[in-house]
Amino acid sequence: MKVMITGGAGFTGSALVRHLDGCADIEIVVVDCFTYAANPASLEPLVQRGDIRVVRQDICDLHAVLELVTRERPDAIMHLAAESHVDRSITGSAPFIETNIVGTWVLLEASRALLASLGEAKAEAYRFLHVSTDEVFGSLGADGAFSESTPLDPSSPYSASKAAADHLVMASSRTYGFPVLLTNCSNNYGPRQFPEKLIPLMILNGLEGKPLPVYGDGLNVRDWLHVEDHARALELVLRKGRPGERYAIGARSERRNIDLVKQICDRLDKVAPPLARPRRELIGYVPDRLGHDRRYAIDPSKIERELGWSCSAGFEGGIDATIDWYLNNREWWAPLRANSGGPAPRALAAAGT
């Protein structure tokens, strides 16, 4: 099975590529524009071994993507390419509208053109898996969790662009009978995450003795899913998911942002070079982010029940291993931290996304 993975040089995309590289029946073609958030180093060992092919391509270019999909004739597209940094969407939403909405439409159009050229059996087996986020559902109160039936209610330009893409994907299924699959995951964490994101930002600032800015009162809650568990879930959805269905993927591992930051500080105090003071003293509160959702949580019962997925990484062990990875892999993150496409808006503090 030839699988085309868009955004395969990003955090979740590269984790998915590494996971699927272990599947003997899958040939991988990565499509990535290599913006500031992508890191070729995440794929370099696989490229050097010849395990995967990488195509540098902007998914918003309809003509080029039509040509690419027609040439490659994949059996499935796993669509992860997206602008995903919420703070950047607040200060400049145009790339989010272009990539997340127009790019998704382009891929759907290219896939429909490909399907028209396939025989009945190949067309029947074709899949388009769109990877989305729990942020499209908006904010939860103190109780409850998002599920596949939760109405979309986005709060930021980023989440609105992803919600629009979700609608395009599901509309393609209903209008054309197009074989789509859609997933909404909770917050991912793990090795090789872009340094602007909450967990690596706190790890690296804490390592260097820099301020640890926390939005608002720090009580916003996120459900944390290890990226490797997410990759396993995506493979299951691709292989066993029912076309036209949405699958929510979460770890039932909620943490308040301030508690997570404190946990990172305590771990760093144990395993990193010592500072003159405890790292908790680096924490400072900053004005809250605009449209900051209070709480996210996912109910993954459907994917557990129907596809047999379960979360294998416990958060305590997972976060410790993640911290240790950043301490031991400076060569991966240092170039990104030095040149991340310009300073991030505000502090990119404890937003959780």
Active site (annotated) includes residue 51: no
Q: What is the torsion angle, in degrees rounded to the nearest 10, for the CA atoms of residue 328, residue 325, residue 42 and residue 199?
A: -120
Say how far apart CA 285 and CA 7 lie, in whole Å: 33
CA nearest neighbour of 132 among 21, 233, 30, 242: 233
Say how far apart CA 306 and CA 123 lie, in whole Å: 24
Say how far apart CA 307 and CA 319 lie, in whole Å: 26
Say how far apart CA 48 and CA 273 lie, in whole Å: 34
Let me know: does 233 contact 241? Beta carbons within 8 Å: no
Task: Select which of 87, 134, 293, 299 is catalytic.
Answer: 134
Active site (annotated) includes residue 189: no
Let me know: does 101 contact 83? Beta carbons within 8 Å: no
Q: What is the torsion angle, in degrees rounded to the nearest 10, for the CA atoms of residue 67, residue 71, residue 74 and residue 79?
A: -30
Residue 201 Cα distances to 139, 186, 207, 320, 342, angstroms: 23, 19, 10, 15, 15
CA nearest neighbour of 88 among 325, 332, 345: 345
Q: Is 281 exposed, middle or buried (0-12, 13-18, 19+ CB in 10 A)?
A: exposed
Let me know: does 93 contact 133? Beta carbons within 8 Å: no
Say how far apart CA 185 and CA 232 lie, in whole Å: 12
Active site (annotated) includes residue 158: yes
Let me know: does 260 contact 219? Beta carbons within 8 Å: no
Task: Select which of 32, 83, 87, 135 is catalytic.
Answer: 135
Task: Select which of 126, 158, 189, 296 is catalytic.
Answer: 158
Q: Which strand (E) or helix (H) includes residue 333?
A: helix 330-338
- Enzyme catalytic residues: 134-135, 158
